[in-house]
Amino acid sequence: MAKRLRLGVLASGGGTNLQAIIDRCQESNFPAEIAVVIANNPGAGALERARQAGIPARCINHRDFAGREEFDTALVAALQEAGVELVVLAGFMRIITSVLLEAFPLKIINIHPALLPAFPGLHVQQQAIDYGARFSGCTVHFVDGGVDTGPIIIQAVVPILPGDTADILAGRILIQEHQIYPRAIQLLAEGRVRVAGRTVTIEPPAVPTATSLINPALLG
């Protein structure tokens, strides 16, 4: 098969999104491979998941650097050394600077556990519940200079149900994250993603979702 897109995955935590990507990359016809996993904290489960899968894993601890730019300079060096073509933020809990953005223009993607532009930032499952929203979900988007503001590639919707806690909702959202993040990577690796301003187009077009959702349902 054709050359695979080389991914650099940046993570801070448990790494379930990383695992979903590892699993898809193990399929013989998946058009991407993970070149390196980098965590900013030594205890990140993501590092262990990478090692288990035989993927190069590095800890670059942000606490060892004078500031964000210096940390990002080290990230860029490690990503370039690994020949990374697409940077995948998977639960990476650091704000990135122009150092990283300029080294990988329109080549950095992120997954966020809310239906952007609603609820950017942190603790967003609790925010969605507290707001009384009937739906939340997750969003894969290009990373730009803002917090969770870049052009949207793919989203999944989940209902918010009576009795939901932030953890229950996070778990429901995470199941969808594991579906849409590998899918976004696949579309990018296939060279099917075009960006014009805020609008992302898939060429040739993917099948659009024709179903609308109502919550609570019109029954009962």
Positions that interact with ligand GRF (CB under 6 A): 11, 13-17, 90-91, 111-113, 174, 177
112 an active-site residue? yes
CB of 166 to ligand GRF, least distance (A): 11
Question: Dihedral of CA 111/113/116/122: which sign?
Answer: negative
* 8 versus 15: smaller Cβ distance to ligand GRF: 15
CB of 195 to ligand GRF, least distance (A): 21
CB of 124 to ligand GRF, least distance (A): 9
* 8 versus 91: smaller Cβ distance to ligand GRF: 91
* 122 versus 206: smaller Cβ distance to ligand GRF: 122
* 73 versus 149: smaller Cβ distance to ligand GRF: 149
Cβ atoms within 10 A of the Cβ of 68, count? Answer: 16
* 90 versus 188: smaller Cβ distance to ligand GRF: 90
- Tokens of residue 75, six digits: 């990230």
CB of 50 to ligand GRF, least distance (A): 12
CB of 198 to ligand GRF, least distance (A): 21
DSSP per residue, the chain:
-PPPEEEEEEESS--HHHHHHHHHHTSTT-SEEEEEEEESSTT-HHHHHHHHTT--EEE--GGGSSSHHHHHHHHHHHHHHTT-SEEEESS--S---HHHHHHSTT-EEEEESS-TTSS-SSSHHHHHHHHT-SEEEEEEEE--SSSS-SPEEEEEEEE--TT--HHHHHHHHHHHHHHHHHHHHHHHHTT-EEEETTEEEESSPPPPP-----SS-S--
Q: Which residue is nearest to ligand GRF (CB)?
A: 91
Active site residue: 62, 112, 123, 141, which one? 112
Active-site residue numbers?
Answer: 112
